[in-house]
Amino acid sequence: MNDKKLYDCLVIGCGMAGSVIARELAERAGKKVLILEMRGHIGGNTYDFKDKNGILIHGYGPHIFHTNSKRVFDYLSRFTTWRNYSHEVVGDIHGQLLPIPFNLNSLHLAYEPSKAGRIEQKLIDTFGFGSKVPILDLRQQHDPELVEIADFIYKNVFLYYTQKQWGLAPEQIDSLVTARVPVFISHDNRYFQDTYQGIPAQSYTSLFAGMLDHPNIELSLNSEARKRLRLESGNVFFDDNPFNGTIIYSGPIDELFDCRYGRLPYRTLDFVFETHEMTWYQPKGTVNYPVNQDYTRITEFKHLTGQVLNERTTIVKEYPRAYTGADSETPYYPIQNPENLTLYERYRTLIAEFPNFHVLGRLAEYKYYNMDAIAAKALELADTLIG
Ligand code: UDP
């Protein structure tokens, strides 16, 4: 008998999307699931590990979990306890560190007291205390002092950072992207206001190990799905044998079809890790560099993880650039614009021929998802598939 028939489901990718759906199908539906993961480790881009200096680092850049979904939080909490951590970010603006998102505390640090007080009142009167105002909306105001503060924030927080991150000006990218970091009419310095936030107490990797630890799940690392899967006139072949079970794919959708219509564009990041012989490198988990430097931000992991170690600390600098599709690169950020979404839809049309084939996650759906949103989507897909 052919081995491949032993599996009811193939899951491609072992990040948040693949791991949650695999666990759900294995546990709730009793399905035999095979996960194919191209990398040599689990956890996708949340993968964390101790570096050679003994510091727990996030290998693909900082990941801070936050969600308003009780379902998602409770679900992940089955596999981890949490370190209670609220992320704070400051922007280095010509040497002065201002809270990001720019808020009323930032305003009072940037302006002399009477002017800051006046602008604060105007912001509250116009938008309401506690509101979150996308910078591009704030720039629509006509009051001269609101125009001035909007210009200040636009120039000092968004313009150069966005140029580095996306290679484009803020108004040239999807407005939802800069709206992720709105001007916050509040004194709350936290980067996120979600009900639940934290970092897995031990590590993301152990959270994923717990999630994947199920007798119905088999994991194949260093396994390139695109070399083992073939999609041909409505039929799916796995290792050259017809496969009629369910397939959940969380990899890049264009690569499934050898990028036949062209590559979907992404931004990637080069990470430069540095270990310094000091207890702390910077005052907060992340310092953004919105007016200078070639990197966008520096994150110091001990702030996030709570690891106690006085002798040294590891930081990471993020250098964004265009993704070329080279095997050594990771596609991190989909560039969502009308042209790219049209290209994505062409690939989706090809997938529609295969009823048991589902796409899930940042790459397969070409969406700028946070971790919790992917987990929520995976749970919803499980509901639909399991019924
Ligand atoms: N952004 C900015 N300056 C900042 C922080 C963010 O211009 O100091 C803009 C930038 O365009 C960025 C977007 O807001 O891509 C979203 O930032 P976020 O921190 O959510 O990005 P992520 O953590 O997903 O990389």
DSSP 274: E
The pLDDT tens digits of the residues spanning 299-347 come to 999 999 999 999 999 999 999 999 999 999 999 999 999 999 999 999 9
Calculate how far, in angstroms, residue 180's C-alpha sits from the geometric centre of ligand 1: 7
The pLDDT tens digits of the residues spanning 359-379 come to 999 999 999 999 999 999 999
The pLDDT value recorded for residue 4 is 44
Sequence ranges of the domains in the chain: 3-53+61-85+200-264+334-386, 89-184
1 pLDDT more than 50: no
The pLDDT value recorded for residue 289 is 98
Pocket flag, ligand 1, residue 155 (CB < 6 Å) = no
Pocket flag, ligand 1, residue 165 (CB < 6 Å) = yes
ipTM tops the 0.85 cut = yes
Per-residue tokens: 238: 């796995």
Q: Which CATH class is domain 3-53+61-85+200-264+334-386?
A: alpha beta
75 pLDDT band, cuts 50/70/90, is very high
**Is beta strand 89-93 parallel, antiparallel or unpaired with respect to 286-288?**
parallel
> Which atom, in ligand 1's list, is nearest to the CA of 100?
8
> Which atom, in ligand 1's list, is nearest to the CA of 173?
11
∠ Cα 29 368 283 (to 5°): 110
pTM over 0.90? The answer is: yes
Q: Which residue is associated with the tokens 């001990």?
A: 302
Ligand 1 atom 10: residue of nearest CA:
162
Of 70, 78, 43, which Cα lies nearest the Cα of 58?
43
3 pLDDT band, cuts 50/70/90, is very low
Pocket flag, ligand 1, residue 192 (CB < 6 Å) = no
The pLDDT value recorded for residue 284 is 98
Pocket flag, ligand 1, residue 285 (CB < 6 Å) = no
Q: Which long-range contacts (CB under 8 A, 24 or more apart) does 25-29 make?
A: 25/216, 25/246, 25/382, 25/385, 25/386, 26/214, 26/215, 26/216, 26/217, 27/214, 27/216, 28/382, 28/386, 29/382, 29/385, 29/386
The pLDDT value recorded for residue 5 is 57
Per-residue tokens: 222: 């260093």
* Residue type at position 40: G
Span 119-127, average pLDDT: 98
CB atoms within 10 A of CB 170: 20
161, 271, 297, 330, best to mutate for ligand 1 pocket (most atoms within 8 Å of CB): 161
The pLDDT tens digits of the residues spanning 136-160 come to 999 999 999 999 999 999 999 999 9
The pLDDT value recorded for residue 2 is 44
